[in-house]
Amino acid sequence: MKIGIVGCAGRMGRMLIQEIMATSGAELSGGTEPGGAAIGQDLGLLAGTIPAAVVVTTDTKALFAASDAVIDFTTPVVTKMNAELAAASGKALIIGTTGLGDDARNAIAAAAKRAVIIQSPNMSVGANVLLALTEKLAATLGPEYDIDILEMHHRHKVDAPSGTAIGLGEAAAKGRNAKLKNVARMVRDGQVGARPTGEIGFATLRGGDVVGDHTVIFAANGERIEVTHKASSREVFARGAVRAAMWSEGRAAGLYSMRDVLGLG
């Protein structure tokens, strides 16, 4: 399985290089960057491992041509362009980018008609178990249970709430047969009044080097249920993304998630 990486010189990209090179049945087909000192460097040496015999380039179109699947943890603008390249080439695209807007989502949906697209707000196995559990709990517990989602990430993260937090909110809303946009409370500040029934609240923390902590709280009179996932290394995201790329082989074109990859429905 030939797997390429867009944004290969960043922290996540280097972790992906290591994971692909360590995965049986996977071959590192290349990596791209928009520019900078990494161009021309051997990908394996860039990631601190053995030579990979492929170098960093700026040609993403050529990367798709050389790959069976491409992994993208970049920005919404770049991901939109990569979705279009996936559609044109018919190659699988694994998307870990967060903070996607309508333009990127529309491009992804269009690409999924012609290629395998696997998009998830969090690629780790544990976080996707939390997503499935959140939906199940929301469906099982009554409306007297208030739902809040607390997340914390490192100080450099640019989007808030995190993509995983939004995904957890969507899972909780789905469990209650609701649309998140109709029940979400992203910020509480000032005289907000009593909490309405069915509201799903969010709280965001930023600081230090936290990789990613997420807690979903179900609170009712007399009891509280809290389910938590904490990532201590980006390795879990890389491992999940490579697993998704391997899973994509032979699949029909369509939009999938990590829950599909893991058989969680």
pLDDT tens-digit profile of 108-142? 999 999 999 999 988 999 999 999 999 999 999 98
Task: Pull the structure tokens for residue 10.
Answer: 């960043």
Inform me whether the pLDDT recorded for 6 exceeds 80: yes
Average pLDDT value for the chain: 96
SS3 2: strand
User: What confidence tens digit (pLDDT) does each residue in 222-243 have?
Assistant: 999 999 999 999 899 999 999 9
Active site residues: 153, 157
Specify the fold of 2-119+234-261. Rossmann fold (3.40.50)
pLDDT of residue 65: 98
Collapsing DSSP to helix, strand or coil, 219 comes out as strand
Instruction: Give the helix/strand (H/E) hosting 167.
Output: helix 163-175
Structure tokens at 255: 């939009």
Q: Is the pLDDT of residue 25 over 90?
A: yes
With cut-offs at 50, 70 and 90, classify the pLDDT of residue 41: very high
Examine the pLDDT at 168 and tell me if it is beyond 80: yes
Mapped onto helix, strand or coil, the DSSP state of residue 1 is coil
Between CA 153 and CA 208 the distance in angstroms is 8
- Listed in order, strand segments (DSSP E) in the chain are 2-6, 27-32, 56-57, 69-72, 92-95, 116-119, 146-153, 184-185, 200-206, 212-220, 223-231, 254-256
Predicted confidence (pLDDT) at residue 175 exceeds the cutoff of 90: yes
Average the pLDDT over 255-261 and give the result: 95
Query: Predicted confidence band at 88 (pLDDT cuts at 50, 70, 90)?
Result: very high
Q: What is the mean pLDDT of residues 6-17?
A: 95
Strands of 200-206's sheet in order across? 184-185, 200-206, 146-153, 212-220, 223-231
Q: What is the pLDDT of residue 98?
A: 85
pLDDT value of position 236? 94
CATH architecture, domain 125-231? 2-Layer Sandwich (3.30)
Query: According to the model, what pLDDT value does residue 196 have?
Result: 95
Q: How far apart are the first and last CA of the chain?
A: 25
Scanning the structure block, which residue is given the tokens 């030939």? 2
Mean pLDDT of 184-209: 95
What are the contacts of 60-65 at 24+ separation with CB within 8 A? 60/6, 60/32, 60/85, 61/85, 61/89, 62/30, 63/4, 63/6, 63/29, 63/30, 63/31, 63/32, 64/4, 64/88, 64/89, 64/91, 65/89
Statement: residue 265 has pLDDT above 80: no
Residues of the chain above pLDDT 90, percent: 94
Q: How confident is the model at residue 264 (pLDDT cuts 50, 70, 90)?
A: confident
The pLDDT of residue 121: 83
**Per-residue b or e along 204-243, where b marks 16 or more CB atoms closer than 10 Å to that residue's CB:** beeeeebbbbbbbbbeeeeeeeeeebebeebebbbbbbbb
| pLDDT per position as a tens digit, 176-193 | 999 999 999 999 999 999
Domain segments of the chain as ranges: 2-119+234-261, 125-231
User: Can you tell me whether residue 103 is helix, strand or coil?
Assistant: helix
